[in-house]
Structure 1
Amino acid sequence: MTPQRPLKSLLSLAVAALAAGSAQAQQLQLEEVVVTAQKRVESLQDVPISVSAVSGQRMQDAYITNLESLTTYVPNFSMNQSGLSNNITIRGVSSGINPGFEQSTGMYVDGIYYGRGQLSRLPMFDMERVEVLRGPQPILFGKNSIAGAISMITAKPTDQFEGSVSALYEFEENQQDYRVVLSGPLSDTLSGRLAVMYREQDGSFVNVNTGDDEKQEEEGLVRGALRWMPTDNLDINIKYEHADFDDNGRNVELAQSLVREDLQGTGVGIDYVSALNNFVGLANNVLMLDPPVDFAGEDGKLNRVRGGNGDSHTNSSDVLVLGVDYALGDYTLTSTTGYLEYEFEQECDCDFSGASVFDAVQDESFEQFSQEFRITSPGGETVDYIAGVFFQSNELDFKDSIDVPANSLLRLLNPNFNSINTDRFATQESDMWAVFGQATWNVTDTLRLVVGARYTEESKEATKQQVHYAGGTAFPATDPSGAVPNVFFGLNPLFGSFAIEPYDEIRGDRDEQAFNPLFTVQYDLGDATMLYATYTEGFKAGGFDIRSNGHPDPAVVNACTLDTSTTPPSCARDIVGVFEFDEEEAESFEIGAKMGLGSTAELNMAAFYTEYTNLQTSQFDGILGFNVTNAGEAEIKGVELDGRWLVSEGLTLSGSVAWLDFEYTDFRNNQCYFGQQVMDPGAVQPGGVTCDATGKRKEYTPEYSGSVSAEYILPLGDSLELRTVFDLVFSDSYLFNPTLDPRSEQDAYAQYNLRVGIGDQAGNWEVAFIGKNLSDEDVVTYGGEAPLAGALTGGTGTAYYQFLDRPRTLALQALYRF
């Protein structure tokens, strides 16, 4: 039985019980959830948006350390790490793999836009709350927030002295986590807060090649904040944060090694793992490797055992935020100034095997400055409004390299295939400004009309260059058919094919404008129910592709397959890449209800329909590159429900569930999955490289997903209490490969989490047991076809690399507050 069926029954019973239970327990009162989703402090029940809010206390109890672990508790929301990037998905919409992308989900920390995918991996600590706003958010969170917005609010300095220390040890992955927070007044008008966190772990994968447990993680974060209130009208907040978050190894392995279905049982064809083993064995014998390569561990099974020659990922970031609120009569003037920079370096054994074949190195540095000025009217007037201007400027420097080391097994193809590499250099500068406003007309005590708009102008300039090297010497970007690196990295089938074309620096610039409106109608049906309907348009700027491996002009032929049947030899096929991609747009309709069922229960519902045009997608070229394309059109519709019920003193039930229907209505240029040209020839487009995905669902779009939680607090005597939290998290099946390969499907699953803590009733101390994924489900978060699989199997077989989420983990946590 799939997880969604019992949930339907549970939901029906819960709704019926809510109404009955609320009438029997009027003396109980649910605690109000306060959010700032509309840049005002409001009750969640008054906000006409589908919002999930997770408090800092909830994050601490559930041991949520980053966005990836937060997704467990928010339906229609996921964050996935791939081999070279990170992706945030809301309602099935995400950006794909390409360093030229900004995220389709706008991520904001204390009002500062974090658009780069790498920043989604930042550790989360000492948070006040996190709000996930689903659907386009074009006005108040307007920078590219076409899928939704994540607003993260860190804890602020307090007027009273307080602090906490905590420690956690997790047994399965040898995880250690230490945290210290100090907050309080420094003078009559000045208060401060210091938060320090350090975490490390070994991981759940075994690398049989290195002998290490993977992936090993090490994170450190220091945040200092000051709050100065020199007068009753002026509130100044300044925050500085430095974070380091590093990995060694990966939670990825080769799985599903197979022969193409039409060749199975014919004796023709070979699967990828077998082909690799044969190739390694041949290399050992011919090259007389000493010591010989041991290829054990690559068994093509999903068992958390992998090869690999070592992967690493180092990151550092610095953020400075200055926020000023000034009360001008009943109005509030707000200034938010932000400076952000980060650097990261990644070394990837991207053939995902224990053999020495090739390595990928990626370096990225980024700087951003932003300034927003905003005026907020006093609430409760006939017309309430927020208006402002926003400016942002950023610079990106990017380099990546494909390296063939001196001991590469590719020497078997040609002894010169060692100590060669190809490097890509790219830069991008962007300046953007916007003016925005949102007004609420309180027509009557029960009827409100909301109108909003944002006008945006953005300019970008970019450069890109591809250079091949041998022994440190660069080779010119001309037709160099006799040069070793160009033969190897080009399209010569005699020596393998990486399909990477050298070219001199290319430049591009683009300027675009967007006007995005919003219209909302709110109506109070009685004292406890609010209905709303919204129409909005979203926009995500275009940009420049960084990971494409060919020159965008087909007339530039610097690498090709030589056709020796002609005189002189000619190019049978050229590598044609992309450089620029267009903006993405959305139109969205949403209706919803926020209902209070007495004082002890609430139920919120949202139904939505969104049309996307020019969806920006990144497609693996089947070898080593990724090409950005605008996918055409898609229709997304769904329903989201969430609710809480204070059943009795000490017992609270909460839950959320989402139904999602995603359909590409026009997507004729998707990358073909392995064997699709044979298995589904009707989908193959002219040229045989792309396939029609019209009518299909996107990856990461389970039909159903959600969670149910029960929290129970039991007094023990006069001073102690037992606090228990149980979570059921479930998902329907979904595809995890952007090619939409039907072999790459994650089965429906249900995970169970449990936290049992004992402490004093005043909340000064607590010791807790935390168990996550107690059902020990194997959940694949990303996957794709192994690079070079087609070359080694002659196109007859493949294998898939798959990233796995954490298995069952068991931890002890101790906390002391003062």
Structure 2
Amino acid sequence: MKPSVKASSSSSPSHIAMALALASFATLSAHAADTKDSKSAKADPAQETSLEEVVVTAQRRSERLQDVPMQVDAFSDAKIEAAGIKSSQDFVNMVPNVSLDDSFTYLNTFVVVRGVTQINNADSPVAIIVDGVPQNSQKQFKMNLFDIERIEVLKGPQGGLYGRNAIGGAINIVTKNAGDHFEGKLDASYGRGDAVDVSGVISTPVGQDGGLRVAGSYKSDGGRIQNSYTGKNVDFIDHDWETRGKYTQRFNDTLSMDLRASYRDFQAGAIYDSVIFSGRADDYVLPSENIQGLTYGNIFDTSAKFDAELGSATLTSITGYTSLTENYRGDLDFTNPVDKPGGFLGLGIQVGQGQDLGTDLFSQEFRLVSNNSGPFRWIAGVYYLNTKKDLRTRAFLDTTSQLDQIDTGFLLIDHNESNNNNAYAVYGSFDYDISEKLTLSGALRYDLDKRKQTDLSTGDVRKADFDSVQPKATLTYKFDDSKLIYGTFSTGFRSGGFNAPNVRIPVFKAENLDNFEAGFKTSWLDRRLILNGAVYRARSDNFQFFFVDAASAAQIIGNIDKVDIWGVELEVQALVGPGLQVFAGLGTTDSTIKENKDLPSTVGNKTPKTTNWSLNAGFQYDTALTDTLNLMTRVDYEHRGKKYWQVDNADVQGPVDLLGVRVGVETEGWGIYFTGKNLFNEQYYTDFNPTAFSGLDTAIGFRAQPSTWALEAKIKF
């Protein structure tokens, strides 16, 4: 594919797509109005007498959320629709002590959970699971979420259950299965910046005990962040479309199958960091580079799951394969010859950059889960993952401000590497009811990563092995069906690996984390009030952190020897009146560098990208306007405390307050909504790299989205 850059003005393809979507909506609305079935009326919110009961699979078996002895934020189908969740960013913004920040390329994000930080081009600190298949590339977390059954966010290390990369927690996403009748849905929205977002699904039974569900989405966006030098918007999305098919079949009483495949193609703006000449993290300036950055690529993903009932246990086989490509082109000095005539590092030249990333992932898991509901329940399994990653990084002399200079111009740097990694694991877990009220749970997992990197320029080969034993133990005491307390010791492991060849830190170490946690989960007043909380303390050895070395065009991962982290989390939900729910969550993270041999002056500082505390609060009010028509109003408030950008703590971003609202009228069959985000137009950076760690002679920051709004219409049939 030949990349092209989209202008910031409104484009006819977006308007055509919106017109088609609204035309389809009108047609389907007419059809739905003539359909006489049980979906013709929506339940009266005034009849709700308790909060929703959510069933999760956080511990690899189905159980009530309030029975799970850990801090889990769960989003059911109903909550996903009510909150207007359409992306990973949307649900992360509602979870205290978890943040997800855009940075650099279209798919690049930094997730932080309880102070444990994402590393660019490396393993995530959070295990991401979609329909039972681990998403083992950092680039897979930025998802467009459509046709989703449930989202579960587990906080704290989950190595005993999920293995490698669950050092900060785990996120379990479950897509919807086909039902026993034909159904469909179409959702279309139009928003600020000529933003179009359309998704749809068709589901139908197939033959005897089979079902097919096909879903898809399309996005385009003119953007809202303007380049002050070119006058064009840098955060545009030329296109981002995805299609997904899911086929389920129950062959008999003992054997069932679940096949899933998806394909995504995207092209969007990239690497539009602002140059901050003042060097201050609170100086919010617009991007001004002379090269318009671009990301383009695609993701193909497929999986096969088989469940076999063996009487006393269920044997599950999950096979997954992913092919991911993400390429980017853009500015390396992030400025222009007018604002900075001295050019890149004062050398009097303009410089551009680009990277070609290709990743193939193959995984296989076999899991055996006991079926008995007696006092002893267990899980055992084995896991294998092969990762092949090719990465080419180039820097070029910029003379024309065009992207094709990376192929036709003068190259200053050309690094080409190939990585082939094999990961193996064996694990087991159990729950034993010591008494009717007291349960002991344990898990143990061994992970081995065998890594190999080849420098394609020289033929040099590097190899390294990283392994870890990850235990977990939990003691749970249930006072009754609505109240419990627990104490947990859990561990996490993030593999080490290789930086680019010929950089000053050639190999970074594996990170290990031990966590002690005590908490409670309670419901009161016949489930009209839920109150949960926990206190945790963790020790991380070889804490991984990221910085850029522009002189070698290299993104580098280093280690901090020892880090201590502690904090508290509180959650409350209440049904305070007919149709009126209020909710709030608080999380604190106090991280302290205890030992850092490479940078001893940082001892006592906070770890990079740490936010000291966060608060989420809001309400949702549903009321009946007629026998079939409801009004829904939802307000979400998010407070983010100070953010410490790098290990020296010299640059700190002040608190951020974000307000969102969603208002709509709806029936069981259709709905029309208005959604607003960041209504006070708060300015902040989602990534900031000071001069000492950017590799440049200026600081750079990646601007957050300003205030946005969208009008949405949806139909179910």
TM-score for both structures, normalised by structure 1: 0.76
Alignment-derived partner of residue 227 in structure 2: 207
Alignment-derived partner of residue 454 in structure 1: 445
Letter in 1 for 2:587: A
Distance 2:392 2:549 in 1: 19
Distance 1:122 1:313 in 2: 15
Q: Is the 8 A contact 1:522 1:532 kept in 2?
A: yes
Distance 1:54 1:433 in 2: 31
Alignment-derived partner of residue 368 in structure 1: 361
Letter in 2 for 1:719: T
Q: Please point out which of 96, 103, 106 is paired with 2:119.
A: 96
Q: 3-state DSSP class of the match of 2:104?
A: coil
Q: Which moved more, 1:84-93 or 1:590-599?
A: 84-93
Letter in 2 for 1:710: F
Alignment-derived partner of residue 425 in structure 2: 434
1:595 paired with 2:522, answer: yes
Q: Please point out which of 179, 190, 201 is paired with 2:199.
A: 179
Distance 2:466 2:502 in 1: 26
Q: Is the 8 A contact 2:291 2:401 kept in 1?
A: no
1:738 paired with 2:646, answer: yes
Q: Please point out which of 93, 104, 109 is paired with 1:83.
A: 104
Q: How does 1:214-225 map to 2 (within 5 A)?
A: 214-217=234-237, 218-225=239-246
Q: 1:707 to 1:256 in 2, by over 3 A?
A: farther
Letter in 1 for 2:655: A
Q: How does 1:196-275 map to 2 (within 5 A)?
A: 196-217=216-237, 218-250=239-271, 252-257=273-278
Q: How many residues align?
A: 651
Distance 1:782 1:247 in 2: 18
Alignment gaps of 5+ in structure 1: 1-24, 260-299, 410-417, 467-503, 551-576, 671-690, 792-797
- Cα drift, residue 160 of structure 1: 1.9
1:71 paired with 2:62, answer: no
Q: Is the 8 A contact 1:723 1:756 kept in 2?
A: yes
Q: Is the 8 A contact 2:606 2:647 kept in 1?
A: no
- Cα drift, residue 251 of structure 1: 5.1
Distance 2:75 2:639 in 1: 18
Q: 3-state DSSP class of the match of 1:213?
A: coil
Alignment-derived partner of residue 747 in structure 1: 654
Q: Is the 8 A contact 2:430 2:441 kept in 1?
A: yes
Q: Please point out which of 67, 76, 88 is paired with 1:55.
A: 76
- Cα drift, residue 426 of structure 1: 0.9
Q: Please point out which of 644, 648, 666 is paired with 1:759.
A: 666
Q: Is the 8 A contact 2:205 2:211 kept in 1?
A: yes
Distance 1:74 1:237 in 2: 30
Alignment-derived partner of residue 465 in structure 2: 511
Distance 1:748 1:208 in 2: 26
Distance 1:701 1:732 in 2: 9
- Cα drift, residue 357 of structure 1: 0.8
- Cα drift, residue 250 of structure 1: 5.0
Q: 3-state DSSP class of the match of 1:631?
A: strand
Deviations 1:646-674 (A, max 9, x none): 1122111112110111111112424xxxx
Letter in 2 for 1:759: E
Alignment-derived partner of residue 495 in structure 2: 541
Q: Please point out which of 190, 208, 224 is paired with 1:188.
A: 208
- Cα drift, residue 620 of structure 1: 2.9
Q: How does 1:630-649 map to 2 (within 5 A)?
A: 630-649=559-578
Distance 2:226 2:302 in 1: 39
Alignment-derived partner of residue 263 in structure 1: none
Q: How does 1:385-534 map to 2 (within 5 A)?
A: 385-406=378-399, 419-464=410-455, 504-534=458-488
Q: 3-state DSSP class of the match of 1:692?
A: helix
Q: Percent identity?
A: 28
Q: 3-state DSSP class of the match of 1:212?
A: coil
Q: 3-state DSSP class of the match of 1:206?
A: coil
Q: Please point out which of 279, 286, 299 is paired with 1:317.
A: 299
- Cα drift, residue 258 of structure 1: 5.5
Q: Is the 8 A contact 2:242 2:262 kept in 1?
A: yes
Alignment-derived partner of residue 554 in structure 2: 625
Q: 3-state DSSP class of the match of 2:488?
A: strand
Letter in 2 for 1:666: E
Q: 1:82 to 1:530 in 2, by over 3 A?
A: same
Q: Is the 8 A contact 2:284 2:684 kept in 1?
A: no
- Cα drift, residue 692 of structure 1: 2.2
**Which protein is bigger by CA-based radius of gyration?**
1
- Cα drift, residue 405 of structure 1: 3.2
Q: 3-state DSSP class of the match of 1:394?
A: strand
Alignment-derived partner of residue 314 in structure 2: 332
Q: 1:746 to 1:586 in 2, by over 3 A?
A: same
Q: 1:598 to 1:199 in 2, by over 3 A?
A: same
Q: 3-state DSSP class of the match of 1:696?
A: coil
- Cα drift, residue 240 of structure 1: 0.4
Alignment gaps of 5+ in structure 2: 1-45, 338-348, 403-408
Q: 1:465 to 1:800 in 2, by over 3 A?
A: same
1:712 paired with 2:621, answer: yes
Distance 1:394 1:250 in 2: 26
Q: 1:208 to 1:327 in 2, by over 3 A?
A: same
Q: Please point out which of 702, 718, 729 is paired with 2:611.
A: 702
Distance 1:379 1:246 in 2: 50
1:30 paired with 2:23, answer: no
Q: Please point out which of 611, 615, 635 is paired with 1:726.
A: 635
Distance 2:582 2:144 in 1: 28
- Cα drift, residue 804 of structure 1: 1.7
Distance 2:448 2:335 in 1: 46
Q: 1:26 to 1:440 in 2, by over 3 A?
A: farther
Q: Is the 8 A contact 2:225 2:705 kept in 1?
A: no
Alignment-derived partner of residue 806 in structure 1: 705
Q: Is the 8 A contact 2:418 2:456 kept in 1?
A: no
